[in-house]
Amino acid sequence: MKVKICGIQDIDTALYAQQIGTDYIGFVFAESKRQVSAEQAAAISDHLHKGPLKVGVFVNENVKRVEEIAEAASLDIIQLHGEEPPEYARKLTRPVIKAFSYSEKLSIQDVLAYPADLILLDSAKGPYRGGNGTSFDWNLLANETFDRTRLILAGGLHPDNVQEAITTIDPAAVDVSSGVETKGVKDFIKMKTFIDQVKGVCRR
């Protein structure tokens, strides 16, 4: 079971994420209270020589600009969190994660048809795309039959509920941001506890 910690904003937090075995870290380049610049992300990336994989989160950004930031910040993966059509993803030169807000009206088969390496299912939209600290009803997804090896589960996850989420959904990875923060700042104790909870219930 892989873990993505999103909303990384400083070198110390990134290095601690590396130390505790985080698989992916996310830099948010879209409007957000966790937004970073390409220069900030590049400075952090310079300290991460052996992982985790670096994910850049974008919302309806110009493809050329995405590629420029990805190159400058040494990103490994691009995460699309807007209304980017399939042809947009096909233009990108790095692996793609496509995020969708989950609801009963969402067709899982349509989601899986999107040309992305990984699919992220998040809660409904809030003030920002992602990172709103709320979860959707996991039971709605539990009875869906589909290949979950491309699935990242996000939305409202934290150390106290992530084991239940994994048991219910059986995703390939989980994504957390606000769930490992205290007063809007990444909390090292919560980060470590989250990782321990995930690895303790590992099903993959």
Q: List, by residue number, the catalytic residues.
A: 6, 122
For the chain, the helix, strand and coil percentages under 3-state DSSP, each to the nearest 5 = 35, 20, 45
Q: What is the DSSP letter of 177?
A: S
**Residue 189: what pLDDT?**
97
Phi-psi region of 184 (alpha: psi -120 to 50; beta: other; left: phi over 0): left
pLDDT of residue 201: 54
What residues contact residue 76 under an 8 Å CB cut-off, 6+ apart? 53, 54, 55, 94, 95
Residue 199's pLDDT is 85
pLDDT of residue 82: 95
**Residue linked to tokens 């989420």:** 165
Per-residue model confidence as pLDDT tens for the chain (204 residues): 999 999 999 999 999 999 999 999 999 999 999 999 999 999 999 999 888 999 999 999 999 999 999 999 999 999 999 999 999 999 999 999 999 998 878 889 999 999 999 999 998 765 455 455 678 889 888 888 888 999 999 999 999 999 999 999 999 999 999 999 999 999 999 999 999 999 875 544
pLDDT for res 121: 95
Out of 3.90.550.10, 2.60.120.20, 3.20.20.70, 1.10.10.10, which CATH number does the structure's domain 2-200 have?
3.20.20.70
- What residue spans define the domains of the chain? 2-200
